[in-house]
Amino acid sequence: MLEEDAKERIDTIFTFVYSTSEDDRFVKNVVKRIRSHGRQVCSCGSTASGKNWSGV
């Protein structure tokens, strides 16, 4: 779905619970597929401790 949206230039918000060691490969693959269609990926989040982060 995310790649199809990127192909059609449809802005999409995708949320999920991220686990560093378990989800890194998945996130890199999604980012690669989205960017291959000239689209932008933005990320943000927060931790259980309340610290915020952003990036990709």
Its pTM stands at 0.73
Residue 55: predicted pLDDT: 63
Backbone CA torsion sign across 31, 55, 44, 10: negative
Distance of CA 49 to the CA centre of its chain: 21
Task: Read off the pLDDT of residues 4-54 as tens digits, 9 standing for 90 and up.
Answer: 999 999 999 888 888 878 999 999 999 999 999 999 998 887 777 767 666
Please tell me which residue, 55 or 42, carries the higher pLDDT value. 42
Structural domain of residue 25, as residue ranges?
Answer: 2-54
Strand pairing of 44-46 and 52-54?
antiparallel
The pLDDT value recorded for residue 56 is: 59
Q: Is 26 helix (H, G, I), strand (E, B) or coil?
A: helix
The better pLDDT of the pair 23, 56 is held by 23
Domain count, the chain: 1
